[in-house]
Structures are given as C-alpha cells and as structure tokens.
Structure 1
Amino acid sequence: METIQDISLFKHVTNQTVITIGTFDGVHLGHRKILERLINNAKNTGLKSTVLTFFPHPRMVLQKDTDIKLLNTIEEKTQIMESLGLDYFIIHPFTKAFSRLSATEFVRDILVNSLKAKKIIIGYDHRFGRNRNANIQDLIAFGNTLDFEVEEIPAQEIDDVSVSSTKIRNALLEGDVATANNYLSYAYMLTGTVKKGRGLGREFGFPTANLHIAESYKLIPKNGSYVVKSKLLGKEYFGMMNIGFNPTVSGTEKSIEVNFFEFDGDLYDQKIQVEILHRIRDEHKFNSVEELREQLKKDKNFSLDLISK
C-alpha cells in the first residue's frame, strides 16, 4: 500500500482507480465489508483500490469540535489499512477552503482528474460539495457525463457501520473492552511515547512505563486496570495497565501506566503501541500503599491466569 498525504501528490499514478470515501474511524467490521468490496472490485476490474479520507476530521475544522474523540490516530488507521491490502490510502488535509469546493469541482477536479476514478463505491446517504448539497443521484449523473460508474452501498450496510462505531465508543467509555474488540475485530490500541513519571511503581515493586499520547482526539477507555500486550524491542510482552489518577498516592493528573511482565529494559522516549485485551477492575482509592501493593499482586495473578488460558 502506498500512503499519500495530499491529493496533489497523486500525480505520479497513471492507473485508473476504484475509490471509496470516508473517515473509516476504527476500521471496524462494518468498514471492512465496504473495503473488501472495494479491494475485490479492483482485482476483478484491473483498477487500483483507493481510499480517500481526510484529516483533521471535518468536524474539527467546520464546527471547531475539540471534544471529538476518535478510535484511531491517523497513524493507527494507516497501519490497519495497510494490513488489508489496499493499493492507495490518501489522507488529504481538510480545510475550510477545501470544504467550499462545489460538487462539480470536487467530482471533476478531485475524483476524476486528480484521482483517476473509473468507479466510486459509496453509501446511499453520501453527501458532498459545498454545504454538502449534492447526493448520490447527483454523483450518478456526474458519472454519466464524466465516464465513471457509481456503486451504491445499501442502507443496511451503512447503518451497520454507524451502529458499530457508536457501540464501540460507548463500550470503551464503559470499560467494556470485550464488546469493543468484538466489533473492531482486533484489540483496541493506544499508541504513545514513554515519558518519565513519578517513579512510584518501581518503589511498589511494579515499575511502569508512563504512556503519553500526543493526540488529544484519541479516545481513552474508562479509568481502571486492564490486561495488555505490546511488542517491545521486537519481542511480545504482556502486562497490566492502569488508566486514571492514582488516588491512593494523591495523584492529580490522569495517567496511563503499564507494568510489563518479564521486561526490564529502558523504554524512555520510545514510541510503543499497547493492545488492550481485558478489563480487570475499576480504579480504587486504597487505605494504604500496602493495600494497593497487595491488590497489584492480585491483578498480576489474574492477568497471568487469563494470559495462560
């Protein structure tokens, strides 16, 4: 897969394409039906499978929605897309100027002239152009004029995508990792850089990697403890992660801390990705550090038992 950061950088591509357009947040099971259709169509027609997405999310730009929470960072989404076997993944910068393109400009200049679309696979409810004033019937009419085919994704599939996204977000906010992972078809992930923390975990006998996530839009699951897995220095390690404020030791800032089992290396300033496998418990304020230490031992035994099964 080739990742292209701006539509203008697609000029070197000479092949005609079959395209779908969307945010594809989570790239979950519902999305995968659409992407499989796209990839299979490309194989059957000799076209190149192409996904056009936008970043920042349009709501961040047009509605100044700084509270929006997404399931993937753009880096995570690219990683997942690559695993599916796409030919091209285009991440175009979304700006107010871009949003003001007319429907004609978007279809003629972007989809046909720049991206060489021969076929567009799109949802029945897709709207585009300035003020989102054009619909799929308009797109079909453009296709008749500009010589491309439109394949409509039926209502049921689009509704499944919408329902899945909502259920995944709600499940993670409730700490229901099992439901979220089931809809995603992979373990929900957090990607960040390991920064120095207060060093209290090491004093308790449970040294932790303090994970800093730069992207404020990334959805963080409900506070509590989780069983996790990560690849560190080329090798897979399991561990347990706490999301929260560490109330027992008078923590004031939210943190994400991971205690990796059987790992004793230096991870400071390294970027790591943590897969969340199972929820252990809610965050709790214990009466003493000793009580907390005993609970961490129980959490570790629970995690190891789960991993062994």
Structure 2
Amino acid sequence: MSFFLFRDAGPAAGHGRAPCPQGSVVCIGAFDGLHLGHRALVDRAVARARDLGLPAVALGFEPLPREFFATGVRPPRLMLARAKIEGLRALGCDGVGLLRFDAQLAAMSAEDFVRQVLVQQLAAREVWVGPEFRFGRGRGGDIALLQAMGATLGFTAQQIVPVHVEGERVSSTRIRAALAAGDFAQAARLLGRPYAIAGRVVRGRQLGRTLGYPTANLRYGGKVPALRGIYATWVHGVGAAPWPAVASFGTRPTVDGVEPLLEAHLFDFEGSLYGQRIEVEFVAHLRDEERFPDLPALVAQMRRDEARARAILHQHESRRAHA
C-alpha cells in the first residue's frame, strides 16, 4: 500500500513512523471537484481539528476507485490530483493523504483499512465521512463499522448530512451531467464557484501559431475530461484580471490528435506562457469538436468561434460588473 501525505514540507511517504503521531482529525472521500458537499465535510473536520488542537487531514485516493474498477472507457474526472491537493489545503486542511488505489488496496478489508490507515498511519481521533460512505473490500465498511471499531481503537466517527441544491443532493455525478450539457451556471451552483481547470502551460505542436491562433496548452494527465468541445473561457493567472479566450478541449480530430488537450487562445495577447501555471474558467459551450476537410475550413470556423466567444464574454463581463 502506497500512502503519501502532502503538507508544507511537500509529500512524504506514509510508512514507518506515523506522520501524525499526536493524532489527527480525518475526513475521507473521493473529493472529485471539491463541490459544496465536499466543502461541508472538510469544513466540519477542520473546525473540529481546530477545537482539539490537532491537524486536519483529508484522505483521498489516486486513481479514483471508480476509475480503477471501470471496464472499457474510463469515467470522466472533474479535477486532477494536484488541483485537488491545492484546493483541500486552501480549505484549511493541514495535510492531504493520497492512497494509491490498486489491486492491493481494493482487496483490503474495511477492518484492515481502519487499523492500518486510520489508526497506524494517521492516529485518527475523529473520522468524518459523507452520506452513504462505504469503503473496504466489497464496500463492506460503513459509518456503523467505523463507530464500532472507533469505540475500541480510540476514535469517534461522524457522518455529515447531505447538502442539497434545488431540492437535490449535490454530487459529482450532477456536476458532470451539467458540464456535459454545457450548463455552467448549474455546475457553478453545485461547486460553489465557476468550473475551471488549472495546469502548467506545455509546448504543443505549435500548429495554432502557424494558423494565426497561438494557444496555451494544458495536458489532462491522461485522465478523461468531463467535457469536450469549443468554449468561451476566462484565463486566470496571466494578468491582473481574467483574460478573455476561446478554448478547445478534446483530441483535435482535424489534425489527428490523440491525447485530450486543453488549448486556449487568449485574445490580443502577446508573449510566452510556457511553464506558467494558469487556470481556464469555462463560461459557455460554443460547439462540439468536429473534423474539417482541410485547414482553411478549420481556420474559417475558428474565426467564427472567436467572434462568438468575444461577444459572449463581453456580455458575461457586463453581467458580473453589475452583479
């Protein structure tokens, strides 16, 4: 079992001496997207940790269990591991533990998970989980098992109540559905913030530059994105204010791309962004990816996409200014 705890000093392997010898307050989840439900769970654990004078630790998995067990096409993911770690730390977690979800972990019983991870590694004093949380081989562990084992092993376990928006429970599944439908307003309501993807700008094939549309490219870590197509976007981390852009997220069928790549063309921008960390906020879906017969046809469509994106972002900026 591989376990890494990310703290101020960076990642440290979680074996040998326990990384939290004085005890900890632990919250457990997939945390894909860090939506309002996740935030409620983390907020509760952090508040209890402050009350007890202990570190708050968020415990997650990489890859996500649903990715590990998937057959055929892997399920889409809302957030990559680095963004998740940064987000959990920003919410007040003193450490973020990532367990490598592999065959060994999948075969571990719920009882062994409690003993080896929660007690031996994290010296948990309190454990907080979300509604209907299950864990261990065959999903055999639940809140009742946590509470029963905690009574003998020295920790308590609690489950938060579900968070609802518009009468339905907030979930990553609802957010993925909203993104697939291009409903970014609904996704933002469930997330508590606009949906965005962050990463470090990498070099691409530089085809966009030759076509008059240079792009800042972000890879998606070999994961399956929750949305694909052409979008009006804001790019954060370039200037003092969000920068308007049109972005393509997909496999670029006209130029035989393979790996999903997020390519953002920043309007009227001059300079290099290679190696810089940026965040792309999605505002509106313009169209799906499509294969064009040749590059001139592609460029003509890119011009139409740019004009439409500029108009949408101008309206979006005006609404935000008067909100």
**TM-score between both structures, scaled by the size of structure 1:** 0.83
Q: Does 1:217 pair with 2:215?
A: no
Q: Which residue of structure 2 lines up, in the alignment, with residue 195 of structure 1?
A: 203
Q: For residues 163 and 127 of structure 1, what CA distance do their matches in structure 2 show?
A: 18
Identify unmatched segments of 5+ residues in structure 1. none
- The 8 Å contact of residues 175 and 222 in structure 1, kept in 2 or not, is answered as no
Q: For residues 11 and 81 of structure 2, what CA distance do their matches in structure 1 show?
A: 12
Deviations 1:29-69 (A, max 9, x none): 11111111111111112222111111111233344565121
Identify unmatched segments of 5+ residues in structure 2. 1-5
Deviations 1:7-28 (A, max 9, x none): 3277243221111111111011
Q: 1:100 to 1:237 in 2, by over 3 A?
A: same
Deviation at 1:84, TM superposition (A): 0.7
Q: 1:209 to 1:105 in 2, by over 3 A?
A: same
Q: Which residue of structure 1 lines up, in the alignment, with residue 3 of structure 2?
A: none
1:300 aligns with one of 310, 319, 322 = 310
Q: Which amino acid in the other structure matches residue 114 of structure 1? A: Q
Q: For residues 161 and 90 of structure 1, what CA distance do their matches in structure 2 show?
A: 30
Q: Which residue of structure 2 lines up, in the alignment, with residue 17 of structure 1?
A: 24
Q: 1:279 to 1:189 in 2, by over 3 A?
A: same
Q: 1:188 to 1:202 in 2, by over 3 A?
A: farther
Deviations 1:58-90 (A, max 9, x none): 233344565121110001101111111111111
SS in 1 for 2:280: strand
Q: After the TM superposition, which residues 157-176 of structure 1 pair with which residues of structure 2 at under 5 Å, given as runs?
A: 157=163, 163-176=170-183
More helix by share: 1
- The 8 Å contact of residues 23 and 54 in structure 1, kept in 2 or not, is answered as yes
1:43 aligns with one of 33, 44, 50 = 50
Q: For residues 295 and 93 of structure 1, what CA distance do their matches in structure 2 show?
A: 41
Q: Does 1:258 pair with 2:255?
A: no
Q: Does 1:54 pair with 2:61?
A: yes
Deviations 1:109-157 (A, max 9, x none): 2211221111111235333333222332222111111121122323x34
Q: Which amino acid in the other structure matches residue 283 of structure 2? A: H
Q: 1:136 to 1:294 in 2, by over 3 A?
A: closer
Q: Which residue of structure 1 lines up, in the alignment, with residue 120 of structure 2?
A: 113
How many residue pairs get matched? Answer: 303
Q: Does 1:275 pair with 2:285?
A: no
Residues 270-279 or 65-74, more deviating: 270-279
Deviation at 1:92, TM superposition (A): 1.6
Q: For residues 135 and 146 of structure 2, what CA distance do their matches in structure 1 show?
A: 9
Q: Which residue of structure 2 lines up, in the alignment, with residue 238 of structure 1?
A: 244
SS in 1 for 2:120: helix
2:232 aligns with one of 219, 226, 231 = 226
Q: For residues 126 and 50 of structure 2, what CA distance do their matches in structure 1 show?
A: 13
Q: 1:243 to 1:102 in 2, by over 3 A?
A: closer
SS in 2 for 1:195: coil
Q: Which amino acid in the other structure matches residue 214 of structure 2? A: T
- The 8 Å contact of residues 220 and 261 in structure 2, kept in 1 or not, is answered as no
- The 8 Å contact of residues 135 and 142 in structure 2, kept in 1 or not, is answered as yes
Deviation at 1:215, TM superposition (A): 1.8
Q: 1:25 to 1:161 in 2, by over 3 A?
A: farther
Q: 1:35 to 1:161 in 2, by over 3 A?
A: farther
Residues 214-223 or 164-173, more deviating: 214-223
Residues 131-140 or 166-175, more deviating: 131-140
SS in 2 for 1:52: strand
Q: 1:244 to 1:74 in 2, by over 3 A?
A: closer
